[in-house]
Each structure stands twice: as C-alpha cells, then as structure tokens.
Amino acid sequence: MIIFQHNLIPEETLHITEIVYRHNSYWRIRNVDFSYKHPADYIITRPPPSPSMKVCKLFLDLYYDDFGTYRNVYHSLGGVYIQFGNMPSHQRKLLKNHFVLRFVPFGGDFNEFIKPFISEIKELEKGKVMNIQGQDVWVIASIGVVTADLPQGNDLAGVLRQNANKGCRSCTISKDSFTDFTQDIALTSRYHHLTDSEFALISAETPNILDELKRERHLQTPQDIYHVTAGKIGRLLKLTCELFSQEGENDFIKTWKDFEKPKTWSRIPNPISHRESFMMSDYLRLAIIMPFILNRFLKITSLKNNEAKNIQQRTGASRINLVKNTIITCWVHVAKTMSMVFKSKFTINSYEELQQSLKEEMNILPKVFSEFVNLPNLHVSVHLLMHAKTYGTLINTQCGIKEMVHRVFKAMVPRTNRKNIELDLLKRYTTLFAIRHLVDGGIDYRLSQSCNGFASLTSNFRHILTNWYITENKEISNEYDEQDNVTSPVNFITHITLKKGVSQQDRENIMLNLPHFNSELLLSFEDIGFKSALIYSQMSWYKLATYIIEETTSSVFSKIHLHIGDFVTIQEENHDECYAIIKGIFKYKANNNKFYAFIIIDWFEEIKRVHHVLKCPLYRIQATYDTCWRRIFPISVIDRVQKVHFVYDATNECWIKNDFFFTAI
C-alpha cells in the first residue's frame, strides 16, 4: 500500500524504483529493473475494426526437438511442432490438435526454415478479420511458450549454450554455482528489457529470429521438463548401476523381472543392459518404482566395496551399512520431485511443497554423487518454481505428446525411400490429416463437388479415423463385437465386455472369502435400481472387463481395462478417496432378464504408519471377517483404475502406497 504524504502530488509523477523482498530469511532491496514487465508494457495490439466484433486470441506454443530416424545409424531430424496453448489440456492431447510445421534436416539452418512461419505470425499479431462459421471475427495470434531441449532452447532464447560459463537461458549464474540453491534468483535472472540493452551493445551479434515476434524471450522459453527430468533420472540410473557388484546386478535383474509393475504400462527394457535405448517415458516410469525395487533387494554386499566407502566418506555416514539407505533416499527424492513437477493442479501449498522438494533433491544428489555437482539439468530446478507460478502448472509448458509423435514417425521411416526422409514424412502426415479433415465433414474448396465418399466410409475404417489420437492404452482400437450381453447401469458407461473365464478352483477360492455374498449382491442390485428379491441365479466369472467411459469434466471417451489384481479408487460418501484391489469380476442375471457386471474388492486400510526409508504410507488389506465395509459393488462404482499403485512389503507384511505414482505421458 502506498501512502501519499502530500495530496497535491500528481499521480503520473509517481514511479516505483525499488522493490523490497525477502530472500533466505533476510529483507533485501533491488532495483525495479530486476523484475519481469507486464506484457502490456511492451506489447501493443490493435483494436478490432468494430467494437461489436467478436475477438479470438490464440497462443501458439512452439516445440523444437531432434529425434533419431534410424536405430543403428546416426541421422537426426529436427521436429518443429505447434499447439494451441490456450486449448484445454485434454484437447491438446489429441493428435489432430498437434501440428507439424516441418522437419529440419541434419545440418539444416533453423532460421531459414522458420522464416515463413515468423512472417505469418507477425501478420497475425497485428490482427486479422476472418470469417468463422459465417461470422466475421477479429483474430489475434501470438507466440506463447517456446520449448526445446538445452542446446536448441538456449539458441531460441538468444543465450550461449549450457557449456558456457553463463549458459543458463533463465539466469546469469556461472556454471561453478549451478547447484547452489541459495542464489538470489531475482537478482540473477535474465530479463528481456535488460538483455535487449546488452544485445544493442554487441553490434556484431546476429539477433535471434524469434525476437522479431512480441515475446519475453527468457520467460517464454522455459526449460523442457520432460528432457530435464528424464536426463536427470538417466544419469542417476547410470551411476546407480555402476555401484552394483556382480551379486547386486543379479539381484537387481531378478527383482526387476518379478516386480509387480502396473498392467497398463508398456514393457520397459532391462535397465542394466538396455538403458541407452530408453525413451523419456521409460525413464519417468522407472523412477516411479525404482525406490521400491532397491528397497526390496539392496544390501551392502550388493555394492562395490570401494564405491560404498566413497559414498560413506562423502556423506559422513557413521556406518557403511547406511550407504544403501542413502542410495534409496536419492531415488526417493528424485521420484518425489518428479511427481510434484508433473502435477496437473497446484495450490499455494503445492508451490511450497514443490520448492521444498527441489531444494532437498539438489542438496542430496551432489552430496552423494560428485557427477551431479553443477550439472545443468539439476540447475534447472532453481527456475521451476517460477515457471510453475507463471504458467499455473509446469505441464502447461510441455509437449508430452511429442514423444509419441516421434514414435509414429520412426515407424514410418522404414517404409520410405530413405533418400529425402523429411519430405516423405511430411507427405504422409499431410495426407493423413487431409483424410481426417474430410472424414470430420470438412470441405476442400479446391474441389467442385463435395467429398460424400468420405462421409459414407465403412464403419471399421471410420472407427480407425475417429480415434485419431494418442491414448493411454494401446488396445483402444479393439472392436466391440463381443458384448456378452452385459447391460450398463449408468449412461456414462457403455460397451461393457467381459473376457477370459475363471477356473472353477479360482471361483471357489473367491467365494470362500465371501460369507455374505447373497446379501451384498442384493445391496449392489439396489444400488442400480432393483429393489425386489432376485429370482435368477445365473452368473459367470471373468478375469478381464473393458468398457467405455465418458469423462464428466472433459466429455472425452476413454476405454477402461479392468483386471483382477488392479488397484482402483472408489469415492465413499462418508470418507475421502478410498483404495481397493480387484479380487473378482462377474456378471449376474437381474429380474429383467439382463446381465449386469459386478466386482469383488478387498479394501486397503491405512495403519497410520510411514515407511522409514521410502516415506510412503503403509496399508493393510481388509480382513475376511471384517464386515464393516461391503466387498461387492456394481462396476460403475469405480472412480479411477490404475491411478494408484501399491507395493507389497513382505518384511512388514503390509502394503506400501506409492506416493510417487502418476501417469508419465
């Protein structure tokens, strides 16, 4: 609050010149120039021709990344992609809303390639009248977030690359202090208006081509959290594997193969022998479960003696036996930080938790492993809180679908002539998008007649084109022919399919643990609207159920795969989010001669304890004689499937809730 000492001071003569702020428990003063300006201070937009004309504003996010086209030969292409930054996240996930500008060939000039795009965006920055659905609309478009890995990202921000003494695109900290978390970031950050002055003094320096657009070059070029996080995990994995003795390698591989990974995950290669072929999503998923794998087998004989002594000396551990817990703790901090970085929602407390997690991670990694000292990927942690507050969440600055697009293009390469790969890929891409546009009812104005043939495609072919998006499960394209005549009790669930029958022995084992089967089944039928006693006894048991569910928040349809042994969340009226494990799936004939699907679950009960190393809560399974909570429910009661992960701890005879679990990509 500003208090005027004299009422006659004109308001326009008052200017803020200094800022009082708190850093490391001390109050400090800095010049107002060391702060980011509001876009209105350096961007001027034209009003629409008519005050009543509708205005549409588009934020175009640019993503630039290289990917290898061949498996054994080095040949990279630079993929340049565009997304609408102000589009909801569930819409950005759709492949049809992910646009490829072009591929920059190995050794190509990015500036020459991007010139046509820059000129078009400059026109849209001024505003343009467009006819949209028969109505004139004033369209303004501007660059939003520019994201790239460390080398390309620094180029796009007009900063020296990460190997330079001051090679961070967001600050001027020297590389000798990259992992010093006590730095005053407000004073060392790069600000667009200050670097403009610096560039003006360097007359020989060629300006960055993106500087022709209206943007804050440093704030709008955040570090790519996928590359940064995956790179950090990859280095930690390499260092951890190098610690293993032969006994440790053998125990790790055995534990890795036996570990209960989520069923929806694709197969992850062997981390010992095939980690160089890991995708980014493989590294993220590995970090989710790595603390639990190490906790299950790691002992001091699993480590090379000299390596264990080095870590003991660096950390000041009193006994060498504590080294194994130190290594697990490193993975715990990395996994915890990763889960915070990829959160989809943030509160004020979440920002504080993120900052604390980043600080703890930066403290322990260089302390245990010297290779992390002043590592650029670790230094990025200093800026993630600022990026999170600027864009709401960190995932708003990323392009997670990019890796899946790379996989699609890599699969296309063997089917090309391998001479002009970038041109062949673009031809295939534009052809498929044109077909997609016409199937959606779009019009090609170059044709004199409408494309009615695309509107009358066979159902199978049309179904392939309708599901033109990357999904969480590779089995999304399965047909729904085998319905098993199962009726859905609710409107938002359709196409219920039950598969893989259960043996008689397994059915009997399930029923042994259900002393109140009939009464609970009757309650489940009451939940879906049947109040009278059941007159039929026809039922069948299965191992797998699939169904289509419409998300209430986004109106997106997702295919759910439910297996025996899956962990699910269920919303109870008088409780918070509750967790359970699927023990049985069956269908039962109702009084209306229709079959309905039901599940049998075991509840997880929290025992108010936390694992001393993993720092995750402990649970126990509901006992058979515990009848406080029902165990039979209609399939519609499930809130989410495989959105939570539990790991069994044989030592303590309990279950550990994996607090680091999230959907990686």
Distance CA 549, CA 492 (A): 6
Q: Which domain holds residue 458?
A: 407-466
Residue in 362, 19, 333, 365 with CA at minimum distance from that of residue 189: 19
- Same domain (yes/no): 335, 453: no
- Same domain (yes/no): 273, 197: no
Which ranges of 392-488 does DSSP label H, i.e. alpha helix?
A: 401-412, 421-439, 452-455, 459-466
Residues in the chain: 665
**Rounded to whole angstroms, what are the CA distances from 481 to 208, 244, 498, 541?**
56, 50, 11, 19
- Same domain (yes/no): 631, 583: yes
Judged on CB neighbours under 10 Å (0-12, 13-18, 19+), 345 is exposed
Roughly what angle, to the nearest 10 degrees, separates helices 421-439 and 459-466? 110
Residue 32 lies in a domain: no
- Same domain (yes/no): 304, 392: yes
Distance CA 614, CA 291 (A): 7
DSSP state for residue 28 in the 8-state scheme: E
- Same domain (yes/no): 390, 411: no
Q: DSSP 3-state assignment of 345? A: coil
Q: What is the pLDDT of residue 284?
A: 93
Residue 517 lies in a domain: yes
Low-confidence ranges of the chain (pLDDT < 50): 1, 4, 73, 467-483
- Same domain (yes/no): 340, 281: yes
Residue 171 lies in a domain: yes
| pTM for the model | 0.84
Residue 33 lies in a domain: no
Is the CB of residue 82 less than 8 Å from the CB of residue 254? no
Q: What is the pLDDT of residue 323?
A: 95
Q: What is the pLDDT of residue 243?
A: 96
- Same domain (yes/no): 435, 532: no
Residue 257 lies in a domain: yes
Which of 80-105 are b and which e, b meaning 16 or more Cβ less than 10 Å from the residue's Cβ? bbbbbbeeeeeebbebeebebbbbbb
- Same domain (yes/no): 505, 421: no
Q: List the CATH number of the domain containing 539.
A: 2.30.30
- Same domain (yes/no): 460, 580: no
Residue at which a domain ends, from 188, 222, 256: 222
Q: What is the pLDDT of residues 262-303, one digit of tens each?
A: 888 888 889 998 888 888 889 999 999 999 999 999 999 999
Residue 34 lies in a domain: no
Residue at which a domain ends, from 169, 201, 222: 222
- Same domain (yes/no): 196, 54: yes
Q: What is the pLDDT of residue 450?
A: 55
Residue 318 lies in a domain: yes
- Same domain (yes/no): 592, 538: yes
Residue 31 lies in a domain: no
Number of domains making up the chain: 4
- Same domain (yes/no): 446, 551: no
Distance CA 119, CA 139 (A): 16
Residue at which a domain ends, from 347, 369, 397: 397
A 10 A CB-CB count for 659 gives 18
Q: What is the pLDDT of residues 418-465, one digit of tens each?
A: 667 777 777 777 777 776 666 666 655 555 555 555 555 555 555 555
